[in-house]
Amino acid sequence: MASRTLFEATFLYLSVVAVCTKEYIPPAAPVVNLAPGVDLPMVGMGTGSGQHGDVANATALWLGQTNGVLIDTAYDYEDEASIATGITLSGAPRSQIFLETKIPCSSYTTAKRNIQDNLDQLQMKAVDLTLIHFNRCMPGSSVAETWKALEEAQAAGMTRSIGVSHFLQADIEELMKTATTKPVLNQCELSVSYHDDATMEYCRAKGIVYQAFSPLCGGFNGSSCSARGGKNVLTVPEVKAIALAHNVSAAQVGLKWIVQQGYPLVTAIWNVDYMNEDLDLWSWGNLTQTEMKTLSSVYKPKF
């Protein structure tokens, strides 16, 4: 009996050790509502930075080995087929995936074709959110015609919601002169190192969700941030000091500054450790008001 008790005690000890040392996997990110039945995760994996050596593998890891849900891509990224492969490899059901994509500003006919091509490459009947990628249009193209195609795609069930990217207040106001549906989201560059406060406030006032890309001002998509004088967020002294105070990474502080203001984000992540780190923005509390103000003052606009 004694030996059995010793065995049981040893087994219990080892079981506790195993539980305590098991790698922490953060839960899925909170969501923000875009439209009835359309809830956007606050943190997503963006594939447009050029930092993913293997988009299919990154997609499979994000959906299959973490609680990641949101994938952000675009027609111009030309990686939809790889994402489709990654989704298959992950084994994740469609109901547990949020697909966000973008099409370029074009003519009505071209936009219709791009929407369908995008779905074909993704091997999907519908996506969750489709955006006009840029406010700039080539000759023979228009935002109004592209938006009309998106409105029709939404009505046809090809996309559950529609929005814009890189749009300023004037761009949105011009769009609304002909639109029948207001954009639910505007995806723009946003980080500690660069933020367009005027457009952010305008979108907030109009009920348009403002989503961040290049939230760490790094990679190829951080080039415009750098052009405005911004630094890679991971190297900003204020970010590093606050990270040390909270015993978290500089990336977590940079991303926390965004989501704590209520803004969702997409970021380039390619290994499981970074993926879980970027999803773990809520377990360690909030930044203080002083810390938030400190980070907000890092960027000095150039007029």
pLDDT reported for residue 220? 61
Token pair 């994000």 is found at 62
pLDDT reported for residue 252? 98
Tokens matching residue 159: 């996309």
Q: Is 123 left (phi over 0), alpha (psi -120 to 50) or beta?
A: left
Gap between the Cα atoms of 276 and 253, Å rounded: 14
pLDDT digits 0-9 by tens, 194-212:
999 999 999 999 999 999 9
pLDDT digits 0-9 by tens, 240-267:
999 999 999 999 999 999 999 999 999 9
pLDDT reported for residue 48? 83
Gap between the Cα atoms of 17 and 49, Å rounded: 40
pLDDT digits 0-9 by tens, 134-174:
999 989 999 999 999 999 999 999 999 999 999 999 999 99
* Amino acid identity at 198: A
Please give the average per-residue pLDDT across 113-140, as a whole number: 96
pLDDT digits 0-9 by tens, 5-36:
433 333 333 333 333 335 789 999 999 999 99
Comparing CA positions, the residue from 271, 266, 270 lying closest to residue 72 is 266
